[in-house]
Amino acid sequence: MTLGIVTNLAIFVGLIAFLYHMQNKHYSFTKRVFAGLGLGIAFGAALQIFYGSGSEVIKTSIEYFDIVGVGYVRLLQMIIIPLVMVSIISAILKLNGGTSLGKISSLTLGVLIVTTMIAACVGILMAQLFGLTAEGLTSGAAEMARAKSLESTLSNVEAMSFAKLMIEFIPANPFLDMTGARRTSTIAVVIFSIFIGLSATGIAKKKPEIFAQFESFIKVAQTIVMRMVTLVLRLTPFGVLALMTKVISGSNYTDIVNLANFVFASYAALILMFIIHLALVAMVGINPLRHLKKIIPVLAFAFTSRTSAGSIPMNVQTQEKCLGIPSGIANFAASFGSTIGQNGCAGIYPAMLAVMIAPTVGINPMDIGFLCTLVAIITVSSFGVAGIGGGATFAALIVLSAMDMPVALAGLLISIEPLIDMGRTALNVSGSITAGTITSKVMGETDMTIFNSDGVVNLDGEESAA
């Protein structure tokens, strides 16, 4: 281990110690998250300036930073399945069966699908406004390797029809899905949990003693799981520090400059879609600025971690503790939103790619027939996009192959993929929160006392004044 690596690790440990000091001084959760974000940006930029892009010292240092960053994301993934299971079962028991279940699921899915359609239109609009095209783009070794990888993956994607994808949601082996082994595991666990909840309520009158015992067991399990969630979420500032340091120090800024137009167009589309989310929540009577203030911490985590699925625990806590959304609706929205209707990965990104690639195969990207077909395909293909790294690529492959377009051209954007993916993931999470917010408000379930509270409910279990 060289002196440079040792020095980097010493600085990193010092930054962690500073964040721990902030925690001991009872700084709010939001302040600590943004402190970790700012320190990660500054430290990552300093490493880039001092060692240069592609430095072996940076690469080795990142391997050690990953112990904190990737380790934190894995802890979040660890608690997703237990959290989703106990929360949804508990919610159904409180609903006393499936009376409101159909409304909750249909409203949630409806919002996710409609916002994905809007996101696709936004992506098309920005691609045209910025004049994006794949013509003239050059590729290096990394881009060529990426293109070959995409073409080899295409055969598996083409074999997955919409009907087969719907079948994948059905859990043949729920215990396998509890390991997260499949792309659709989270939704499969949701469906399994619904069956458990409905089965339990079905015996409530016939066997009240057994039902009472089961209900008590679920309450105990939920209490323990929520405590586990709290313990993991307290590590968020440290995870954000490590993840942001990795992104900034490992980026190639020359490639980013060369593809700056696509980066600007992507973030213009993402920002516009964020504004649309706020407009939608305002339409159901929710103060959009207060809503934005309360969801910023979870968006910051999604931005740095680049995992919608890993954001589920914090997403649920944000909806419950900050927005006043009931546990059942919060879990439905967060779980479905991590796999279905991702506005950033499954909406904006494939739309922009298709519009860029269309001229290279002699298609007019402004042809009405082409645009209608594109939006329809994007909407359908948004089902089952995994909420982990690579979900956007999977969605793009489905759309491009369905439109008979060359998928290899998507590999030209590999160098800026991490930078764009951060914003896409934050938008995905915002979309799921928007679905939960609208569903809860339309059903009259939102606790406006919590939402309008001047206090800030910290996600690590502490409370402080705003």
Q: Does residue 440 have a pLDDT over 90?
A: yes
Give the C-alpha separation, 150 to 390, whole Å: 11
Q: Does residue 142 have a pLDDT over 50?
A: no
Q: What pLDDT, on the 0 to 100 scale, is given for residue 285?
A: 94
Give the C-alpha separation, 451 to 456, whole Å: 10
Q: Does residue 28 have a pLDDT over 60?
A: yes
Q: Does residue 46 have a pLDDT over 90?
A: yes
Q: What pLDDT, on the 0 to 100 scale, is given for residue 255?
A: 60
Q: Does residue 116 have a pLDDT over 90?
A: yes
Confidence of residue 256 (pLDDT cuts 50, 70, 90): low
Confidence of residue 263 (pLDDT cuts 50, 70, 90): confident
Q: Does residue 466 have a pLDDT over 60?
A: no
What is the per-residue pLDDT across 384-434, written as a single tens digit (0 to 9) for each? Answer: 665 555 567 767 777 877 777 776 666 566 667 778 888 999 999 999 999
Position 90: which residue type?
S
Q: What pLDDT, on the 0 to 100 scale, is given for residue 409?
A: 63
Q: Does residue 161 have a pLDDT over 90?
A: no
Give which of 314, 293, 290, 292 is closest to 302, Cα–Cα.
Answer: 314
Q: Does residue 138 have a pLDDT over 70?
A: no
Residue 254, Cβ density class (10 Å: 0-12 exposed, 13-18 middle, ≥19 buried): exposed
pTM exceeding 0.85:
no
Average pLDDT, the chain: 83
Q: What pLDDT, on the 0 to 100 scale, is given for residue 408?
A: 64
Q: What pLDDT, on the 0 to 100 scale, is given for residue 251?
A: 72
Q: What pLDDT, on the 0 to 100 scale, is given for residue 125?
A: 94
Q: What pLDDT, on the 0 to 100 scale, is given for residue 465?
A: 37
Q: What pLDDT, on the 0 to 100 scale, is given for residue 233?
A: 84
Give the C-alpha separation, 466 to 463, whole Å: 9
Indicate the range of 246-255, 296-305, 361-370, 410-419 predicted with least confidence: 410-419
Q: What pLDDT, on the 0 to 100 scale, is given for residue 448?
A: 93
Q: What is the gyration radius of the CA atoms in the chain, in angstroms?
A: 22
Confidence of residue 463 (pLDDT cuts 50, 70, 90): very low
Q: Does residue 152 have a pLDDT over 70?
A: no
Q: What pLDDT, on the 0 to 100 scale, is given for residue 146?
A: 47
Element (H, E) at 135: none
Q: What pLDDT, on the 0 to 100 scale, is given for residue 260?
A: 80
Yes or no: say if 44 and 245 are a contact pair by the CB < 8 Å rule: yes
Q: Does residue 166 have a pLDDT over 80?
A: no
Confidence of residue 89 (pLDDT cuts 50, 70, 90): confident
Residue with more model confidence, 95 or 369: 369
Phi, psi of 259 (to 5 degrees): -110, 30
Give which of 36, 10, 42 is closest to 23, Cα–Cα.
Answer: 36
Residues with Cβ < 8 Å from 203, sequence gap 6 or more?
210, 211
Give the C-alpha separation, 26 to 47, whole Å: 30
Residues with Cβ < 8 Å from 299, sequence gap 6 or more?
426, 429, 430
What is the per-residue pLDDT across 180-213, written as a single tens digit (0 to 9) for each? Answer: 777 777 778 888 988 998 899 888 888 999 999 9
Give which of 262, 298, 271 is closest to 417, Cα–Cα.
Answer: 262
Q: What pLDDT, on the 0 to 100 scale, is given for residue 384?
A: 60
Q: What pLDDT, on the 0 to 100 scale, is given for residue 258?
A: 63
Q: What pLDDT, on the 0 to 100 scale, is given for residue 309?
A: 78
% of the chain with per-residue pLDDT over 90: 35
Yes or no: say if 47 and 251 are a contact pair by the CB < 8 Å rule: no
Q: What pLDDT, on the 0 to 100 scale, is given for residue 20?
A: 94
Position 142: which residue type?
A
Give the C-alpha separation, 466 to 450, whole Å: 13
**Integer distance in angstroms from the first to the last C-alpha of the chain?**
45
Give the C-alpha separation, 173 to 175, whole Å: 5
What is the per-residue pLDDT across 66-79, written as a single tens digit (0 to 9) for each? Answer: 999 999 888 988 88
Residues with Cβ < 8 Å from 436, sequence gap 6 or more?
108, 319, 323, 325, 329, 330, 332, 333, 334, 337
Q: What pLDDT, on the 0 to 100 scale, is given for residue 375?
A: 92
Domains of the chain: 3-464 (1.10.3860.10)
Indicate the range of 225-234, 265-274, 366-375 predicted with least confidence: 225-234
Q: What pLDDT, on the 0 to 100 scale, is given for residue 249?
A: 86
Q: What pLDDT, on the 0 to 100 scale, is given for residue 332?
A: 84
| Residue 408, both tokens | 């290899």
Question: What is the DSSP code string of 364-416?
Answer: -TT-HHHHHHHHHHHHHHTTT--SSTTHHHHHHHHHHHHTT--SGGGGGGGGG
Confidence of residue 111 (pLDDT cuts 50, 70, 90): very high
